[in-house]
Amino acid sequence: MKNPLSYIKYPLLKAIDISGLTFLGPVVRLCYGEEPSVQMKKIGQWIFIPIIFIILFLFVWGIASEKIQTKSGALPNPTKTLQAYDSINTFAKREKLKKEAYEAHGEQREKLLTKAQERLAEIIPQAQAATELVTQEKANQKVKLASQIAPIKEEYKTSKRAFTESQKQRQTQLDHTSKKLHIGNEEQYQSFIQSVKEHQSQTETEKSTLRSIKIKIKEIENSSSKKVEKALQLQTIMAEEQQFLKKQIDQLTRDNKSLKVESEQLKIEENFTALTQVTGKEALKKAQSIVKTETRLEKTKASNYAKPSTLWFQVRRSILCVFTGFLLGSLIAIPIGILCGLSSTFMAAMTPFVAIFKPVSPIVWLPITLIIASGLIPDPDQNPLMKFLWGLPGELGEFKINPAFIASAATVALCSLWATLANTALGVASIDKDHLNVARVLKLGFWSRLFKIIIPSALPLIFAGLRISLGVGWMVLIAAELLSSSEGIGKFVWDQFNNGASDSFAKMIVVVFVVGVIGLILDRIMIIFQRMVSFEGSAATI
Amino acid sequence: MSFLELQDVSIAFGPASNRAEVLSNINLSVEENEFVAIIGFSGAGKSTLMSLLSGLEKPTSGRILFKGKPITGPGPDLGLMFQNYSLLPWLSVNENVKLAIKKVFPKLSSQAVNEKISRYVEMVKLGPAGDKKPHELSGGMRQRASLARTLSLDPEVLLLDEPLSALDALTRSELQDQILNIWEQNKRTVIMITNDVDEAVLMADRIIPLTMGPQASLAKEFKVNMERPRDRHTLNDHPEFMRLKSEITQFMMGLNEESKSLQNSTRTTMPSIEPKDFNPPRVTPNMRSQNLTLGTPTSSGQGAA
């Protein structure tokens, strides 16, 4: 009897092939027991060797990070980068919890509150202990260092004394010689100059010796011990959690949405009862106050927790932005490309534009698109399109699409459309003449010839172009966001660059990997699409 | 008046200064439901003739009349079956046929279209492979799919451009039988181009050789007076078959020889020159030989089609 698993072997291998994850092929084949020695060799080549090189890379990175010192600290090593990744995630998680706290009401609010208070009570002594540990370790370190520094300090003192002594001696010697000089004796004067020179250079050397000893002392004083660092790290973690819990409790109590709404409602009721007891000026005043509170109440009801953007939010916004730009670019590039491929006259008309605009850098496009976008939408708060976009449900509304977003997307479009345009034109122009003859024999009209023969035939190349475009767009977008301050990965990097916290350098390194991985995924998706539209003998079968 | 008629047709390509006349003074008339085979060597201009008949190319001079009216362009009533299948590679066999049917019968319901597709695909015995893409099929199957597509146009004239020359001998004879079968069930005018004498004699009513190009023309025709259906197994014992075969073969060989001698007359002796610094060679090695041959039979007479 056949093993039921054997039926999925070839579909599985085909899926692996289409997705381009060819390194998994030997693993699957090995699982089915197909030529184990051959598969092991392939696994060694495509899985183990890359893993070894990754480990090697991490090792070299670790060494390099110790050597490279910058103003913003050492280049983060792999461990620090991983910690930065953790801290990015923790931040995102805590912001989510705070948002929940803001929106919590009734029983759930009280439950969360007790939980947070319990945790806070738990953590306060721990935090104190951590602080104590830091002071203790610092003191220990000081004592340890003092014993190290003492002999050097002693050396410094003796050297200094010796140097002052010898300088004085040389000075008196020179004084003495100067008095004995015979007027007119050039030779004597020359040798006198020589001795002065020697004296000066000697003094210089002595000074630099003293300086180097001082630097040594400073270095020892600044050298951090692992223990102190660890204690500091623990202290930071505790302090951060403590701060978070306090904020969470604030969101559950003082700043809580449901509590605010309740208190305002209560106030309105009270004021109204008071209002019904009075007339005249007093009544007017009370009524005005009620109206004011009512508007405030409406605002509170509609309000959302002002969540600062986390990296993952920015990643999602960047992906939306790159696809907006990519779509915009493709909508321009594909029709123009098709026209170029169909008509050499149109191609000739387009060539100068393509040739001139293609090499233009995104950095040049961005200010132009920014000016145009903010010119078209001078007041985003009043613009109907923006209002509509902000009112969209879910995260689409939260993205707060603004002119900077539109400018970034337009820049992506302007930089990425060229690859699609060129490939589409090539795909349409290089269509098999026999296929066109089929269209002629069938007497297909222009549109059915276009949609049934020309476009399907050009699709593999069009998708090859789209793949390049998306890759270019992703690269361009990060730069555009960085410059336009449009919320996104680029903005995150820029914020970290300006922030200067101890781990912002490491967070930038995390972004390198995040951008790389997302770019890889986008590329894979496009490869899958490309393979799905490819046929035997098409120009772009990879 | 004939069903399909070529009157003094000539076609030439290239600019006026360097004009190559491929076909000249072609006269042919084909009756309705007649099976005509045109036989010729590679490079004689057979495919050009087919392009003219299907309306893909226009003659430089002369007229092509179809049912008394000049052909203005290609169309489904002149069903051309291409030499290299020309199936659309992104469509399955059924979809390729469907494209043709949808165009010719635009008002058909989808059920009727599907019935038609399966009828034509069954007709060429491709039923089980209907959902496959062309690249998953063998050469013979692709040619059958192409035949199904052409038949589905329900053309008044079936133009077969070397339909079987790319196939192996076994597939070839099988397809010959299939084409004959289909033709006998549903008679229509067929013009087939071939380079195989046996095939021509087996299938056609009339065989017309095409002389060697350039300026190829039609030579005297051979009538095939053999009763149908013809049985390939007893054919080799048929005196008429043997007579025709040897006659046509001899005629064709004569054509080839004639053209060879024609080519040989242009042999020109070139002086022996060899530059001192002949490094690297800028021309083909045979230029260095003392006798330079212009237009050897292999280079122009028998070039690829």
Query: Is residue B15 over pLDDT 60?
Result: yes
DSSP assignment string, A264-280: HHHHHHHHHHHHTT--H
Q: What is the mean pLDDT of chain A?
A: 89
Report the SS3 class of residue A540. Answer: coil
Determine, for residues B82 and A434 on separate chains, whether the beta-carbon distance falls below 8 Å. Answer: yes
pLDDT for residue B303: 40
pLDDT for residue A470: 96
Q: For residue B192, is it left (φ>0), alpha (ψ between -120 and 50) or beta? A: beta
More confident residue, B249 or B280: B249
Identify the closest residue of chain A to B84 by CA–CA distance. Answer: A434
Residues of A in contact with B142 (CB under 8 A): none
d(CA A266, CA A489): 44
Determine, for residues B82 and A435 on separate chains, whether the beta-carbon distance falls below 8 Å. Answer: no
Across the range A288-315, mean pLDDT stands at 86
Query: Is residue A208 over pLDDT 80?
Result: yes
Which among B99, B103, B135 has the least Cβ separation from residue A535?
B135
pLDDT for residue A492: 92
pLDDT for residue A70: 76
pLDDT for residue A4: 72
pLDDT for residue B267: 56
- What lies within 8 Å, CB to CB, of A83 at 6+ separation is A503, A506
pLDDT for residue B277: 64
Q: At what angle do helices A489-499 and A504-533 cross, to 10 degrees?
A: 170
Across the range B173-197, mean pLDDT stands at 88
Torsion A209-A210-A213-A218 (CA) sign: negative
Across the range A485-497, mean pLDDT stands at 91
pLDDT for residue A237: 87
Q: For residue A535, is it left (φ>0), alpha (ψ between -120 and 50) or beta? A: beta
Angle at A320 between CA A511 and CA A370, to 5 degrees: 90
The model's pLDDT over A3-52, given as tens digits with 9 standing for 90+, comes to 677 788 888 888 888 777 888 888 888 888 888 899 899 999 989 999 99
The string over A212-228, giving b where at least 16 C-beta atoms fall within 10 Å of a residue's C-beta and e elsewhere, is ebeeebeeeeeeeeebb
Determine, for residues B74 and A434 on separate chains, whether the beta-carbon distance falls below 8 Å. Answer: no
- What lies within 8 Å, CB to CB, of A471 at 6+ separation is A519, A522, A523
pLDDT for residue B259: 62
pLDDT for residue A428: 94
Determine, for residues B99 and A442 on separate chains, whether the beta-carbon distance falls below 8 Å. Answer: yes
Determine, for residues A441 and B54 on separate chains, whether the beta-carbon distance falls below 8 Å. Answer: yes
Interface test with A, best of B51, B103, B137, B153 (most A CBs within 10 A): B103
Identify the closest residue of chain B to A538 by CA–CA distance. Answer: B89
Distances (CA, A) of B63 to A43, A91, A426, B10: 68, 84, 37, 9
DSSP state at residue A46: I
Query: Is residue A247 over pLDDT 80?
Result: yes
Identify the closest residue of chain B to A532 by CA–CA distance. Answer: B90
Torsion A259-A263-A268-A270 (CA) sign: positive
Residues on B contacting A at a C-beta cutoff of 8 Å: 54, 56, 73-76, 78-80, 82, 84, 86, 88-91, 99-100, 103-104, 133-135, 153
Distances (CA, A) of A177 to A183, A188, A200, B7: 13, 10, 16, 129
Determine, for residues B90 and A437 on separate chains, whether the beta-carbon distance falls below 8 Å. Answer: no
Partner residues linked to B207 by β-bridges: B37, B222
Determine, for residues A535 and B89 on separate chains, whether the beta-carbon distance falls below 8 Å. Answer: yes
Query: Is residue B276 over pLDDT 50?
Result: yes
Residues of B in contact with A435 (CB under 8 A): 86, 88
Determine, for residues B86 and A437 on separate chains, whether the beta-carbon distance falls below 8 Å. Answer: yes
The model's pLDDT over A54-100, given as tens digits with 9 standing for 90+, comes to 999 999 999 998 888 777 677 888 998 999 999 999 999 999 999 88
Which among A440, A459, A538 has the least Cβ separation from residue B74?
A440
Taking the CA of residue B162 and the nearest CA in chain A, the distance in Å comes to 15
Order across the sheet with B222-223: list the strands.
B78-81, B157-161, B189-194, B35-39, B206-209, B222-223
Identify the closest residue of chain B to A454 by CA–CA distance. Answer: B88
d(CA A501, CA B241): 98
Taking the CA of residue A442 and the nearest CA in chain B, the distance in Å comes to 5
The model's pLDDT over B186-200, given as tens digits with 9 standing for 90+, comes to 888 999 998 888 888
Q: How confident is the model at residue A478 (pLDDT cuts 50, 70, 90)?
A: very high
Which among A432, A442, A459 has the least Cβ separation from residue B76?
A442
Identify the closest residue of chain B to A536 by CA–CA distance. Answer: B135
Q: What is the mean pLDDT of chain B?
A: 82
Residues of A in contact with B132 (CB under 8 A): none
Interface test with B, best of A433, A435, A441, A530 (most B CBs within 10 A): A441
Residues of B in contact with A539 (CB under 8 A): none
Task: State the DSSP H helix or E strand holding residue A191, giving kind and residue range, or none if neither.
Answer: helix A186-222
DSSP assignment string, chain B: --SEEEEEEEEEES-GGG-EEEEEEEEEEE-TT-EEEEE--TTSSHHHHHHHHHTSS--SEEEEEETTEE--S--TTEEEE-TT----TTS-HHHHHHHHHHHH-TT--HHHHHHHHHHHHHHTT-GGGTTS-GGGS-HHHHHHHHHHHHHHT--SEEEEESTTTTS-HHHHHHHHHHHHHHHHHS--EEEEEES-HHHHHHH-SEEEEBPPSSSB-B---EE----SS--TTTGGG-HHHHHHHHHHHHHHHHHHHHHHHHHHTT---------SS--S--S-GGGGSSSPPSS-IIIIIT---
pLDDT for residue A542: 47
CB pairs < 8 Å spanning A and B: 59
Taking the CA of residue A346 and the nearest CA in chain B, the distance in Å comes to 25
Q: Which two structure tokens, joined as six digits, stand for A159?
A: 């050297």
Give percent above pLDDT 70 in chain A. 98
Identify the closest residue of chain A to B146 by CA–CA distance. Answer: A438
- What lies within 8 Å, CB to CB, of A497 at 6+ separation is A504, A508
Query: Is residue B294 over pLDDT 60?
Result: no
Query: Is residue B292 over pLDDT 60?
Result: no
DSSP assignment string, A369-392: HHHHHHHH-S-TTT-HHHHHHHTS
d(CA A335, CA A455): 11
- What lies within 8 Å, CB to CB, of A264 at 6+ separation is A293, A296, A297, A300
DSSP state at residue A182: P
Determine, for residues A535 and B82 on separate chains, whether the beta-carbon distance falls below 8 Å. Answer: no
Q: Which two structure tokens, joined as six digits, stand for B148?
A: 């199904």
Across the range B250-270, mean pLDDT stands at 68
The string over B32-48, giving b where at least 16 C-beta atoms fall within 10 Å of a residue's C-beta and e elsewhere, is eebbbbbbbbebbbbbb
Which among A434, A444, A448 has the least Cβ separation from residue B86?
A434
**Residue A165 in contact with residue A173, Cβ under 8 Å?**
no
Q: Which residue has the tokens 């927790």?
A: A305
d(CA B222, CA B244): 8
Query: Is residue A238 over pLDDT 70?
Result: yes
pLDDT for residue A317: 94
Query: Is residue A174 over pLDDT 70?
Result: yes
Partner residues linked to B21 by β-bridges: B12
User: What is the CATH architecture of A311-533?
Assistant: Orthogonal Bundle (1.10)
The model's pLDDT over A361-388, given as tens digits with 9 standing for 90+, comes to 999 999 999 999 999 988 888 888 888 8
d(CA B250, CA B219): 13
**Residue A489 in contact with residue A478, Cβ under 8 Å?**
yes
Domain residue extents for chain A: 4-67, 107-234, 239-302, 311-533
Q: How confident is the model at residue A474 (pLDDT cuts 50, 70, 90)?
A: very high
Q: Which two structure tokens, joined as six digits, stand for A346?
A: 């149109």
d(CA A419, CA A326): 11
Residues on A contacting B at a C-beta cutoff of 8 Å: 432, 434-435, 437-438, 440-444, 448, 452-453, 456-457, 459, 533, 535-538
Taking the CA of residue B90 and the nearest CA in chain A, the distance in Å comes to 6
Across the range B139-167, mean pLDDT stands at 88
Which among B74, B86, B89 has the least Cβ separation from residue A537?
B89
Across the range A466-472, mean pLDDT stands at 95
Determine, for residues B153 and A538 on separate chains, whether the beta-carbon distance falls below 8 Å. Answer: no
Instruction: Go through chain B and tell me how many residues it has.
Output: 305
d(CA A482, CA A495): 9
Residues of B in contact with A457 (CB under 8 A): 88, 90
Partner residues linked to B158 by β-bridges: B79, B190
Determine, for residues A442 and B135 on separate chains, whether the beta-carbon distance falls below 8 Å. Answer: no
pLDDT for residue B185: 87
Q: Beta strands B4-13 and B20-30: pairing type?
A: antiparallel
Q: How confident is the model at residue B17 (pLDDT cuts 50, 70, 90)?
A: confident
Lowest model confidence (mean pLDDT) among A293-302, A358-367, B155-164, B281-290? B281-290
Q: How confident is the model at residue B282 (pLDDT cuts 50, 70, 90)?
A: low
d(CA A341, CA B44): 33
Partner residues linked to B6 by β-bridges: B28, B64
More confident residue, B212 or A476: A476
In the Cβ-directed half-sphere of A265, how many Cα atoms lie within 13 Å?
8
d(CA A366, CA A303): 33
ipTM of the predicted assembly exceeds 0.90? no
Which among A435, A441, A456 has the least Cβ separation from residue B76?
A441
Residues of B in contact with A437 (CB under 8 A): 56, 74, 80, 82, 86
Task: State the DSSP H helix or E strand holding residue A256, giving kind and residue range, or none if neither.
Answer: none
pLDDT for residue B230: 82
Determine, for residues B103 and A434 on separate chains, whether the beta-carbon distance falls below 8 Å. Answer: no
Taking the CA of residue B88 and the nearest CA in chain A, the distance in Å comes to 7
Which among A434, A452, A536 has the least Cβ separation from residue B99?
A452
What's the per-residue H, E or C state across B39-58?
ECCCCCCHHHHHHHHHCCCC
Residues of A in contact with B76 (CB under 8 A): 441-443
Which among B75, B78, B88 has the least Cβ separation from residue A438?
B88
Residues of A in contact with B48 (CB under 8 A): none
Q: A428, A420, A422, A424: which is closest to A469 by C-alpha?
A: A420
Query: Is residue A493 over pLDDT 80?
Result: yes
- What lies within 8 Å, CB to CB, of A401 at 6+ separation is A386, A389, A390
Residues of A in contact with B103 (CB under 8 A): 442-444, 448
Neighbours of A41 (CB within 10 A): 12
